[in-house]
């Protein structure tokens, strides 16, 4: 593949494609090209003159040739003329460009503003005659095509060119993981600054009411979600829940069900969860159970929630007997990992999320481990105040994307955890026991880190891996600031809880262990002395 544009902008005449495109290019330090300018260079005359002399069909052919050449030989921001996407060969070229990872941006300006600018600009052959009537007719024809062709939609109603450019920049720089599978409805996990801007676009026009479920510590982010939802025309019902695991309880869910009933929520309404993993778990569980399932979207605000709880369709609540024992498999309509939310995340809560990131490296993607090794000091020193705009932001975005891809791989093939998906539980058999015995004072990612070391010790004792890989678990996790040992209860207490693990079969324990990096296997009913000895090795 040769050079290709960072983004291609499409939209109506007067939408501001050139003005906003130049601003975006300047913000990103990239060159800018306008297809109409390139065409005029190619034909040696102004477009209105070419139209008049040779007609529209001839112009569209030249336009198509120029655009398709630029799609393979330009590496900046490229704005197209309003009519270009109506040509089949241009649409085909844009589709191929998207397949290669390109971003086609539909710049959606206020029609009244765009119409006024188009009239003011002049020199537009397609508006000859009654300009306003022609513009409206073209808009009706072109808007559905633009919407289908583009994979990024940027609404700029009432915004200055610079504000619109900043919004477009955020959306261009987004990373997207498409989650699909034979038993689930496809959805996207969007990762980047401003990812939450996709809320209304993803919820669609069917819901009237949206229940916004959130915790107090993420108030600033729920405020933003509420503003976006109201701007999208939804009736927003604010539901505040207890923070962390205290929110994942049957009495909390029951209170929300009562609210939904009292406030008239129907099957076509929706739920948005904003917060950490516990909040998104609860929001998904309520969505899965209300009227046997209504649309929901997750807006995770912690690293752990972005890479784990919000993605994959596992929803649930805790009971006195254990964690996540009551729940449902129910996929969201979308997940928005908005990196701006990490700018309010305390260092220790950011670090715990790296436990799940490292786990995904161990079971599937060794490149995650390499990135963690290379940036361990910077990750461990995470400072929310300097995070956005720093070099670390792109590192974290890549770690989130890679970890979500690991999860998507397992979820797509096995939504209901019949086999392959269980590999995502590497380290979790002990981790869930630790969380329960610590009354959930230990954070999930920290418990998973210890659980991974335990699984490595068990695998080594039984001959699956060598001592070097056990030592690598400890050294990598320790370098990130994660715990690698625990001594909070007796082995018998731990064993009793491990028997309640969801992977257990009857009275037999079942673990996930590695036989090499990137290759997990099931370990059924291991010898009792090895299970005990591995535990002794992770005690302080």
Cα dihedral sign, 323-326-328-329: positive
- Backbone conformation region of residue 346, classed left if phi is above 0, alpha if psi is from -120 to 50, else beta: beta
Residue of 23, 193, 352, 417 with catalytic role: 417
Would you say 220 is a known binding-site residue? no
Would you say 19 is a known binding-site residue? yes
Would you say 519 is a known binding-site residue? no
The question of whether 318 is a catalytic residue gets the answer no
The question of whether 259 is a catalytic residue gets the answer no
Helix, coil or strand: residue 56: helix
Would you say 60 is a known binding-site residue? yes
The question of whether 41 is a catalytic residue gets the answer no
The question of whether 356 is a catalytic residue gets the answer yes
Helix, coil or strand: residue 113: helix
Residue of 352, 356, 393, 435 with catalytic role: 356
User: How many residues in the chain?
Assistant: 540
Would you say 333 is a known binding-site residue? no
Whole-angstrom Cα distance, residue 488 to residue 159?
Answer: 55
Residue of 175, 209, 410, 444 with catalytic role: 444
Would you say 128 is a known binding-site residue? no
Would you say 16 is a known binding-site residue? yes
Radius of gyration in angstroms for the set of CA atoms belonging to the chain, rounded to a whole number: 26
Would you say 281 is a known binding-site residue? yes
Would you say 15 is a known binding-site residue? yes
Would you say 323 is a known binding-site residue? yes
Would you say 295 is a known binding-site residue? no
Residue of 209, 221, 428, 460 with catalytic role: 428
Whole-angstrom Cα distance, residue 298 to residue 195?
Answer: 11
Would you say 314 is a known binding-site residue? yes
Phi, psi of 436 (to 5 degrees): -65, -45
Residue of 407, 410, 436, 474 with catalytic role: 407
Residue of 167, 364, 421, 510 with catalytic role: 421
Which residue in 330, 335, 352 sits closest to 411, CA to CA?
330
Residue of 209, 314, 436, 443 with catalytic role: 314
Helix, coil or strand: residue 481: coil
Would you say 428 is a known binding-site residue? yes
Q: Both tokens of residue 344?
A: 């309010």
Would you say 235 is a known binding-site residue? no
Would you say 319 is a known binding-site residue? no
Would you say 280 is a known binding-site residue? yes
Dihedral over alpha carbons 243, 381, 402, 417 (to 10 degrees)? -40
The question of whether 314 is a catalytic residue gets the answer yes
Would you say 262 is a known binding-site residue? no
Would you say 226 is a known binding-site residue? no
Whole-angstrom Cα distance, residue 340 to residue 388?
Answer: 7
Would you say 245 is a known binding-site residue? yes
The question of whether 359 is a catalytic residue gets the answer no
Q: Both tokens of residue 481?
A: 């600031």
Whole-angstrom Cα distance, residue 30 to residue 461?
Answer: 55
The question of whether 417 is a catalytic residue gets the answer yes
Residue of 298, 318, 324, 425 with catalytic role: 425
Q: How far is CA 258 from CA 45, 245, 265, 491, in A?
A: 69, 21, 10, 42
Q: Both tokens of residue 80?
A: 């197209």
Would you say 279 is a known binding-site residue? yes
The question of whether 206 is a catalytic residue gets the answer no
Those residues whose C-beta lies under 8 Å from the C-beta of residue 185, and which sit 6 or more positions away, are 331, 333
Would you say 540 is a known binding-site residue? no
Whole-angstrom Cα distance, residue 177 to residue 94?
Answer: 20
Residue of 140, 292, 439, 540 with catalytic role: 292
Those residues whose C-beta lies under 8 Å from the C-beta of residue 94, and which sit 6 or more positions away, are 8, 10, 71, 85, 102, 104, 149
The question of whether 235 is a catalytic residue gets the answer no
Would you say 214 is a known binding-site residue? no
Residue of 405, 432, 460, 474 with catalytic role: 432
Q: What letter does residue 80 receive in the DSSP assignment? A: P
The question of whether 432 is a catalytic residue gets the answer yes
Catalytic residues: 292, 314, 356, 407, 417, 421, 425, 428, 432, 444
Binding site listing: 14-19, 36, 60, 82, 124, 142, 159, 243-248, 277-281, 301-302, 314, 323, 356, 428, 444
Binding site listing for ATP: 14-19, 124, 159
Binding site listing for substrate: 36, 60, 82, 142
Binding site listing for NAD(+): 243-248, 277-281, 301-302, 314, 323
Binding site listing for Mg(2+): 18
Binding site listing for Zn(2+): 356, 428, 444
């Amino acid at each position: 593949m040769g050079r290709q544009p960072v983004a291609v902008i499409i939209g109506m005449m007067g939408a501001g494609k050139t003005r906003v495109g130049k601003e975006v290019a300047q913000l990103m330090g990239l060159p800018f090209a306008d297809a109409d300018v390139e065409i005029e260079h190619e034909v040696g005359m102004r477009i209105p003159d070419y139209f008049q002399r040779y007609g529209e069909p001839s112009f569209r052919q030249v336009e198509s040739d120029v655009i398709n050449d630029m799609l393979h030989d330009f590496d900046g921001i490229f704005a197209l003329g309003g009519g270009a996407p109506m040509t089949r060969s241009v649409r085909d070229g844009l589709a191929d460009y998207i397949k290669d990872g390109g971003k086609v941006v539909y710049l959606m300006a206020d029609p009244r503003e765009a119409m006024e600018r188009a009239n003011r600009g002049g020199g537009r052959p397609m508006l000859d005659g009654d300009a306003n009537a022609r513009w409206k007719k073209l808009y009706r024809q072109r808007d559905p095509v633009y919407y289908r062709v583009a994979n990024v939609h940027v609404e700029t109603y009432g915004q200055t060119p610079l504000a619109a450019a900043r919004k477009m920049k955020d959306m261009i720089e987004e990373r997207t993981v498409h989650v699909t599978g034979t038993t689930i409805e496809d959805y996207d996990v969007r990762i980047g600054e401003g990812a939450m801007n996709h809320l209304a676009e993803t919820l669609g026009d069917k819901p009237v009411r949206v229940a916004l479920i959130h915790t107090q510590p993420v108030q600033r982010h729920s405020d933003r979600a509420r503003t976006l939802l109201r701007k999208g025309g939804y009736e927003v019902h604010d539901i505040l829940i207890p923070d962390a695991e205290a929110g994942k309880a049957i009495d909390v869910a029951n209170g929300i069900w009562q609210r939904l009933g009292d406030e008239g929520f129907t099957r076509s309404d929706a739920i948005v969860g904003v917060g950490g993993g516990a909040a998104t778990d609860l929001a998904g569980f309520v969505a899965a159970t209300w009227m046997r399932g209504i649309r929901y979207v997750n807006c995770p605000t912690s690293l752990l929630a972005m890479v784990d709880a919000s993605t994959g369709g596992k929803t649930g609540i805790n009971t006195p007997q254990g964690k996540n024992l009551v729940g449902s498999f129910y996929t969201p309509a979308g997940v928005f990992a908005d990196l701006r939310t990490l700018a309010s995340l305390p260092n220790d809560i950011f670090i715990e999320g790296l436990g799940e990131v490292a786990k995904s490296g161990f079971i599937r993607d060794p490149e995650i481990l390499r990135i963690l090794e290379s940036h361990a000091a910077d990750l461990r020193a995470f400072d929310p105040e300097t995070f956005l705009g720093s070099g670390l932001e792109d590192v974290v975005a890549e770690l989130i994307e890679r970890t979500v891809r690991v999860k998507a791989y397992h979820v797509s093939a096995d939504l209901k955890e019949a086999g392959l998906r269980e590999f995502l539980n590497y380290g979790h058999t002990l981790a869930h026991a630790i969380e329960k015995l610590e009354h959930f004072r230990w954070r999930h990612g920290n418990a998973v880190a210890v659980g991974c070391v335990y699984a490595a010790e068990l695998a080594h004792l039984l001959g699956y891996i060598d001592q070097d890989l056990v030592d690598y678990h400890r050294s990598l996790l320790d370098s990130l600031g994660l715990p690698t040992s625990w001594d909070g209860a007796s082995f018998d207490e731990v064993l009793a809880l491990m028997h309640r693990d969801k992977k257990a079969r009857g009275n037999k324990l079942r673990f996930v262990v590695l036989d090499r990096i990137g290759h997990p296997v099931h370990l059924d009913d291991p010898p009792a002395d090895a299970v005990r000895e591995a535990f002794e090795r992770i005690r302080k």
